[in-house]
Amino acid sequence: MEYISTRSDRRVSAAQAIAEGLSPDGGLYFPETLPVFDGEALSALEGMDYAGRAVEVLSRFLDGFSREELSDYVGRAYAVPKFPKETAPVVSLAGGPHILELFRGPTCAFKDFALQLLPFLLTASLRKTGAQETAVILVATSGDTGKAALDGFANVDGTKICVFYPDGGTSDIQRLQMVTQTGENVMVFAAAGNFDDAQNGVKAIFTDRAFGAAMKEKGFLLSSANSINWGRLAPQIAYYVSAYCDLRARGALAEGQKMNVAVPTGNFGNILAAYLAKLCGLPVGKLICASNRNNVLTDFLTTGVYDRNRPFYQTASPSMDILISSNLERLLYLLTGRNHARVKGYMDALARDGVYTVEEDVRGKLRAEFACGCADDSQTAEEIKSVYKRTGYLCDPHTAVAYRVYEQYIAATGDMAPTVIAATASPFKFADSVLAALGKTPEGDHFQRLKQLSAAAGQPVPEALASLANRPIRFSRVLVPGDMKNAVAAWLTE
């Protein structure tokens, strides 16, 4: 299976797609054909543990990677104690949805699933494509990607990693996780502006050919760990397959019965993975796309007009504070029947005018597959409190947005199909918001607040967050976006 760019007929191997991250034409790589998981294949997966399921899924997507190789990578990426023995547990709430807990990894957010594995996939891809250079991973983060990428790549031979996070745009814990990162090969900058500014700054570095060539001369190959990289998306498909298998195994789904999936969405990577699982044959019904007050996707899915010309809000769910949802490009590619010219037209219009409109054929397909909704911060806080009161389950603000929108969807449609809600972060990562939602006044410093939440919720503080208290701050520089390129060059050649 080859990979093809969403903006031209450029074809590459899986290894090349992962090594390059973004296609030189600005497009994103997408599998030329999708594998099929029929009922029998899914039944076989039911008897496997998470690693076994992930290897099965990945091996169907990554031609040129042997099963042994993938088993080795998956085994190491998801090993205890980085992840618990139950890697992606599904918690079934009484009379309600099934919560797919994706935050049990080393940085307490779902991005660990992709970013613990990506260093293995990327370094292998570079070997397979014959690259001799040191891979330089540039990451723009709205909070969780940065830390997950730093943790995955720290001290990985043959790589260096530089993360840009929006100054003041993350939670305190998220920022501390990043600026205390250890490792010889890591760099972290705050960037003035919001996430989109940081992401555009990184994209500008990638598409600056002269800069890329100059770095290559010095022995560096620029690469991306953002969810534009196929190596980020493929591992995410596995946990939807795994959740289905768990629900089948415990009798929560009849044979062939579909499950709906609700996902708190920002860059559209996680929900796209669920849609891809569906296209591969996983019995999935509606995909419920949940946004916070930055509801550009709610408007798009409702009207067919994608318009980023709107105020940007900082919310209690900062990892979804995004106005340019990069992975939507892959969905548009599919829904236009893999029409490069149309996708390029939309993306050019977005870059030029900040807005594009899809035609009725695409709009019809969007409506058929996706439901959507949004929740602002006060609704999110209400939801955290009410879910906790009703079920004893404590959601982080991102997960609470999805829970709220799931309930809106049921109220609007009466669709009572079993539903999996993707729980994307630990509530402890957003302790202040969660405490406030529960009606408690946050007290003392960050670490006292973690303890306060622990006492209020009767759950231990995740060790990865508790241990931050003892770590020195290593990075404190703030850049304006125009300086990002020079800062990268200076760091690489210092």
Residues near ligand PLP (CB under 6 A) are: 109, 111, 144, 227, 264-270, 319-320, 398, 424-425
Least spacing, CB of residue 211 vs ligand PLP, in Å:
26
Q: Smallest distance, Å, CB 236 to ligand PLP?
A: 8
Q: Which is nearer to ligand PLP, 45 or 273 (CB)?
A: 273
Minimum distance of ligand PLP from residue 101's CB (angstroms): 12
* Closer residue to ligand PLP (CB): 12 or 395: 395
**Active-site residue, 111 included:** yes
Catalytic residue among 82, 111, 160, 286: 111
- Report, in Å, the least distance between residue 117 CB and ligand PLP: 15
* Smallest distance from ligand PLP to CB 137, Å: 17
Residue 20 or 144: the one with the smaller Cβ distance to ligand PLP is: 144
Closer to ligand PLP at the Cβ: 82 or 147? 147
Task: For ligand PLP, give the closer residue by CB, 220 or 333.
Answer: 333
- Compare residues 215 and 437 and give the one whose CB is closer to ligand PLP: 437
Which residues on neighbouring strands pair with residue 403, listed in sequence order?
none
CB of 388 to ligand PLP, least distance (A): 18
Residues belonging to the active site: 111
